[in-house]
Each structure stands twice: as C-alpha cells, then as structure tokens.
Chains A and B, each alone.
Chain A
Amino acid sequence: MANVIKLCKGLDINLKGKAAAEVIAAKPSKVFGLVPDAFYGVKPKIVVKEGETVKAGDALFVDKLHPEVKFASPVSGKVTLVERGERRKVLSIQVEADAEQQYAAFSKGVPADGKKVLEALLESGLFGYMMQRPYAVTACPEDTPKAIFVSAFADMPLAADFEFVVKGQEADFQTGIDALSKIAKVCLGVKPGSALEGTKNAQVTVFKGKCPAGNVGVQINHINPVNKGEVVWTLGAEEVIFVGRLFNTGKVDLTRTIAVAGSEVKAPKYVKALVGAKINDIVGDNIVTDKAVRVIDGNPLTGMKSSLDGFIGAHTTEITVIPEGDKTYELLGWISPRLNEFSVSRSYLSWLMPKKEYTLDTRVKGGHRHMIFSGEYDSVFPMDIYPEQLVKAIIAGDIDRMEQLGIYEVAPEDFAVAEFVDSSKVELQRIVREGLDMLRKENA
C-alpha cells in the first residue's frame, strides 16, 4: 500500500470550462517554435543556422553554461527564423515542419547504468525538461540529485487531468519511471484512487487534499524536504512519458495531450499537439469571439499571458482562455454582494455555493497594499514553512533569513494560491522568483 499523506490547507477554485474527457488532434501547425524562456534558468546558445534542416530530436540550442544540455526540435524541417528581441535576446527558434516527419534515431531499451540513461537523456534533449530544487530552474547534469520527484496530478484550476492523459500510455510512463530510477530514487505523488498507484520502481505516495497538493514542491516538502546543499530533480508527469517513448521507440516524440479549457472556450476538451505548436492551431476557432479574452499559456494561477500567435511553452500542459475584464466597472464593489465573484472570504456569498462554477476575469480586484491581514497565505500553504515571513525576508533582501526560512524548498508556483487569496494583492510569485534568482546568483 502506498503511503497516504493528508493535507488540510489549500483551496480548490471551481472555474467554468473544465476540459471534457475527449481528445481531438490539433490542426497541424506549419511553423513550430521552441521558446528558450520556457526553460527557466537556461542561457541559450543557438546551434543551428537559419535555413538549416533538422530532424525531430536534433538540438536547436544548448545551455551556454552546460553545453551538454541540449534542447531538441519537436519536428523535422527547416529552421526559418531565430527570433530576437531587445539586446538580442532569443525569443524563439522557429522550424517549418516537413510534410513527412523524420526522427533522429536513438538507441532503444533502458540502459542498466544510470550514467548511460543520463547520457541518452542529454543527447535526446529530454534532460532539458528536468527541473531542480533549489532555485526552481532547469537542472544541471553535474549534480547528484538525492531523488527525482514526479507529481502525477495537477489540481490547479482547469489543469489537465493526468489520469486521463496517461490512458493508453501507461507502458511509456512506466518505462520512463524505470529509466529515471536508474539515475536516482524516484518519488511519485498521486491522487487518491489513482490508476498509477501501482507504478513500479518508484516510491508512491498518495496526497489527499486541496490545491496545491498536486504541486511537486508541496510533495517534496512532505516526503523528503530539500536541505541546504542538497539537490532534487523534478520532472513533469507527461515528460516522464517523453522519456518512456524515447526508450521504447528510439524516437523523440514530444506529443502532449493538452487541455484547452476556460470559460471563454466554446467546447473545452483535450487536444493532441506537439511542444512548440502555435496556440492558434491548438485553440483555433474554439474561442468565444464577442469579448476581450486572455489566452493563458498554462493554468490561470501559474500560467503566463500569451496570445493566439504565441507558441505553447515547453512545460505547458493546458491552455486556458478567460475574460480579460479590463472594461468591467463594478460599482461599490467593497460593499455589494457580487454574487458572481468567488472568494474565500465569507463577506461574499460564494461559501454558500460550493458547487457553482465561476467565470473569473483577470482583474486584480483591489488596490496593492502592504500585508495587512494575517494568516491568509498560511491557510492555503500546505508546507512546513512560514510563507509570510519568507516573503518578507525576500522583500528585505535578507539572504541568510531566506535560507533559514526554507527558500530552497519552494518554487514560485507554490505561492500561486496564496497570491490568489491575498487581499493586499501582493505579487508573491514575482517576489519569490526574484528571491530565488538572487540566491542563485549569490551562491553561483
């Protein structure tokens, strides 16, 4: 029996437009783009030239500091553009896809030696998907992780349901776990009643609780917390399937089953698409057109504002579309009942309607203040860390205190629900990211 951990703190936000259990294929994109920003912490060095042809699985760029970490093209075709922004920062590397896909060939079968597995992952560009704690950045292959953590469920609002995504791909998932277990001990977090509870070669833990129990950071904190000087690696559940496919087929196949969800999507459902596909080709005309919407690369709590012209991020498992709401003017919001708004505060009536699905827009809905009310972050932060004190230490730039209060264990996404409930509207995820970057620079 898997170990069960029950978490009391958290908040499930019931949003309208959950993806129905139905998969369609995306419109085949003509141009795919790999966005280096999606691999946080990497300094990209482009290894292809415009006009060059690549196969699916060939490197498009490498990390300047660790050139052995490659980032593979999702498709075969011709490199058409290296898009650069201010100060020549690489925004995306775009590849025009061939009609007939060619795959770079890698050896099949999981090697018995962990080092060989690591080499295969580096060579195929899949290692670039590995993240690490501390700092919540792309992992460094020279480190020896004490464990690799995989969370097999996401409970952020409108997030893709991995239990559904994995159906039919269980063998690839198991192969992926087998391969990772050669590198380090694998810890898998699943939700109650999961079909993946029987996964072999991994320490499986069941997490019962509200969002963000599905965050891998929360799971690490309860299974085997990161101490100073230690490194753990984390890999997205669907990326474990990528690894499995590599060793089962010898090909780099970056096909994801992406949830297209949100109140402004006409028919929310799952779409099979490759990493780097154009968001327009995934979402298409499935959007309500009569109002201003925000297309989010990811879920509404941790995702990033994008657009239909954008490319889907490498780690993204869902695209959500919600109303922008910038032209909404609510009269006397501080006193009116506002029945359509969701709140943890019982000064609103949403506590009476736990089943109601809400349509929330992107407004911040309040002025920015210093932290006034206490206990808000704490009530939705299921880790053995004092979130408010940690955030204050970051704002103060006090590096010793950040370390003492556990900054090595957190990622910005762990503060997403706290940022949502905060009545003072403090940008917690930005602050935590700045703190992590500050510490990484300091310890470099």
Chain B
Amino acid sequence: MAFIKNMLDKMKPTFSEGGKLSAFGSLFDAAETFFYVPSETAKVRGAQIHDAIDSKRSIFFVVIALIPAILFGMWNIGYQHSLAIGCTDDCCGMFGQFLYGLAVMLPKIMVSYAVGLGIEVAIAQWKKEEVHEGFFVTGMLIPMIVPVNCPLWIIAIATAFAVVFAKEVFGGTGMNIFNPALVTRAFLFFAYPAMMSGDKVWVNEKYMDCINGTVDGFSCATPLGQLAAGEPVTYSAMDTIIGTIPGSIGETSFIAIMIGAVILIWAGIASWKIILSTFVGGALMAFLLRYDGAQNFEWWEQLTVGGFAFGAVFMATDPVTGCRVEAGKWIYGFLIGVMAIVIRVLNPGFPEGMMLAILLMNVFAPLIDYCFVQANIKKRAKRAIVK
C-alpha cells in the first residue's frame, strides 16, 4: 500500500500553504488522516506514550453500530412499498425489497453527507483546522430519522441549517449544545410538518423496476399515529420488535437497534448508564400513563414503537450534548425516558416525544452537571472551614 503514501506525499506540497490548491488543504488533511494514523510524536514534556484510541475510531464505531438498523431500514422501505401495492413477500422477494430500499435510501445518505461535509470542510478550511469527524455519525443519522417520503432538497436545507446553527456557530464538534441530527429533525418537523408526520409520508410512492406498481397518496399510519388518533393499533408486538412497521427509516426495528446498542456498550463508546436509565424512565412512565382505551397495546410496547429505542441508543448517548458527570447520566437518561412518554401520551399535538425529550434534556444536561460539580465544590469549601 506504499503507493498511497507516495501519492499523498507527492500531492502534499500542492495542498500546503502557498501551494496551488491550498484552498483545499483541509480536505487533503482529512484524506491523509483517513488513510494513515498521524505520525506526530509527543512533545518534550507531557505523556510520551498515548493510547491507540482516537476520536476517529470511536466515531466510526458508532457508524458501524448503526449498520444493522440501516440495513433493516432499507429492506423495510421495500417491504412497506410492496404491502402498499398489495403484493406480498413473494412478488419480488426479500432481496428485491432490499434493493428497492437501497435505491431510495442511498440518495438521502449522499445528500446528507455532501451538504454536511461540504460545510464542515469549508469551515475547517476557513478556521485553518483539521476537519473533525463528528459529522460522519450525524450524516448517517439524518437520513435514518426522516420519513421515507421526505424530499432530498428538504434534507439538504435541514442539514445545512443544523450543521451551521447547531454545531459550527458553537465551535464545532465537541462544543455544540444540541444534537445536530435532532436539530435537523426538529427543523423539518416545525418547518415542513406535512412532510414529517401524518399518515401519507411513511411509504415510498415511486415506481421502480424491481417492484412493479406505484401508489399515490397511500395512507398508512404508524402505531403512534394510531394511538394519538385513538384508533386501535393494527400491529402486533412482534411486528414492532422486528420492525415490519411504517416509521422513520432507521427507527422501526427494535432488534437491529439493540444489536447497535450491544456494539456501542461493548466498545465503551456509549454510556450504558444513559441507555439503561432512559429505558427505565420510559418504562415507568409508560406503566403509569396508559393510553385511554388503547386496545391491543401493552404499556411496555411504548418502548418498542416509534423512535424511543433509536433515540435512547444513538441520540441520548451523544457525549457532547449529554451529561458529562457519571452520576448525572442516570438522571439525564431517566428524565429523557420520562419526558418522551409524557409528551407522547399527554400532548395530543405530538404523537412522538423522543426528539423533543432529548432536545429538552440537552438543555438541562449542563444544569445536572452543575449540581454535581457544585456539591463537590461545597464539600471542599466546608472541609477548609471545619479543619
């Protein structure tokens, strides 16, 4: 693989300060560190050895953890489409359904990455910094948390808004207050409500070769939509756990999300405390607040439908916007779970509450940290007086 190194070395002067293409220096840097671990050595003073972990690896592990949910989501796009055109599994097969979903999903991923990374690279160049890799997760999350019918231009606008106003204005990866992917979704939710909820957005309408037939304005409600409307839920608990239900692309399969959770917790990247306490808070609230007259719907199914599991595993655990004090993580997660169910059940305007619950707790995370740090400060101050 020496030729990559040689090629990079040859190109380096062109992209360095004073070179012809120095305006793309950040992009070159990003490519160079993508291929090779930086060979910068430790300074004269300070730790002379370092752990092999870096933010790049940690962040790519989150993307790896997302893969089961992405793959399932792609298949489910095709599956929901075949249901809508009145064709069961055998009309095109699972693989055909997956291909259909892939064809629908890929443009969304590409648009999200192109817009987000484009802005990130431009800002990194302007600030003369390395490109931070945080957007690799955000860029993958965005297409997974929108309905399948969401047009590409809307994804582009929302992504641009989130990257600039939720992240870069605060100073980039590590400095933002709100989870950028959730800000994207919130932007869409309030700016284009018709594209984000209701019962017309969950099935892709377009005709494609692999599955014959088109559907125009096909109505199909999510379990949460049915609950909010006071209708009986037409999906079984097994459907919601496996994920063969309509919903945002990545959120439907509880099993696929849990595979991701296992990867994240095993690698030590996501806080198991936040994931566990979110589920505990959600379960407690779901048990206390049941829907009036909801039929065929057990309280615990609240945790398997909608974006609850996806949010708990991939959004609440964002270390930058969440609680940073270990003990505070219990409270942070618990309140996300509680608030998500409260918004779902008690607020008729919002069938789903996970997005708002996490954004709300993003605001309160510094306050929770503050309380714990302040307790430590008080203890120290008291010790000095007692002495």
Contacts and interface: CB of A to CB of B under 8 A. Distances in A.
B254 to A, nearest CB: 24
Nearest to A369: B55
A344 B319 CA distance: 17
B7 interface: no
A404 B41 contact: no
Nearest to B57: A334
A227 B49 contact: no
B58 to A, nearest CB: 6
Contacts, number: 221
B380 interface: yes
B371 to A, nearest CB: 12
Contacts of A433: 45
A107 B34 CA distance: 66
B324 A430 contact: no
A325 B39 contact: yes
Nearest to A417: B47
A322 interface: yes
Contacts of A406: 376, 380
Contact of A364 (B42, B57, B379, B380): B42
A178 B381 CA distance: 33
Q: How large is the interface on B (under 10, 10 to 19, 20 to 34, 35 or more residues)?
A: 35 or more
A123 interface: no
Contacts of B36: 329-331, 333
Nearest to B384: A227
Given A362-B41, A365-B37, A420-B47, A348 B383 contact: no
Contact of B320 (A372, A416, A419, A430): A372
Interface stretch (A53-61, A80-88, A238-246, A299-307): A299-307
Contacts of A346: 266-268
Interface stretch (A127-135, A167-175, A385-393): A385-393
A343 interface: yes
Interface stretch (B83-91, B170-178, B244-252): B170-178
Contacts of A289: none
Contact of A367 (B54, B373, B384): B54
B35 A331 contact: yes
A161 interface: no
Interface in B263-279: 266-269, 271
Nearest to B29: A367
A423 B51 contact: yes
- Name the residue in B45, B134, B372, B377 with the highest tally of chain A Cβ atoms < 10 Å from its Cβ: B45
A253 interface: no
A329 B37 contact: yes
A436 to B, nearest CB: 14
B383 A225 contact: yes
A333 B57 contact: yes
Nearest to A225: B383
B60 interface: yes
A303 B42 CA distance: 11
A365 B369 CA distance: 30
Interface in A388-444: 388-389, 404-406, 416, 419-425, 427-430, 433
Task: Pick the 6 closest A-B CB pairs, nearest first.
Answer: A366-B54, A370-B174, A341-B52, A333-B37, A227-B384, A374-B324
Interface of A: 13, 15, 157, 225, 227-230, 294, 296, 300-305, 322, 324-335, 338, 341-348, 360-375, 378, 384-386, 388-389, 404-406, 416, 419-425, 427-430, 433
29 contacts: A13-B49, A294-B48, A304-B44, A329-B5, A331-B35, A334-B34, A344-B51, A345-B53, A345-B269, A347-B53, A347-B58, A360-B49, A362-B48, A363-B42, A365-B50, A366-B38, A372-B55, A372-B58, A372-B320, A374-B271, A374-B322, A374-B323, A374-B325, A404-B377, A404-B380, A404-B381, A419-B50, A422-B50, A430-B43
Interface of B: 1, 4-5, 33-58, 60-61, 130, 132, 134, 171-175, 266-269, 271, 319-320, 322-326, 369, 372-373, 376-377, 379-381, 383-384, 387
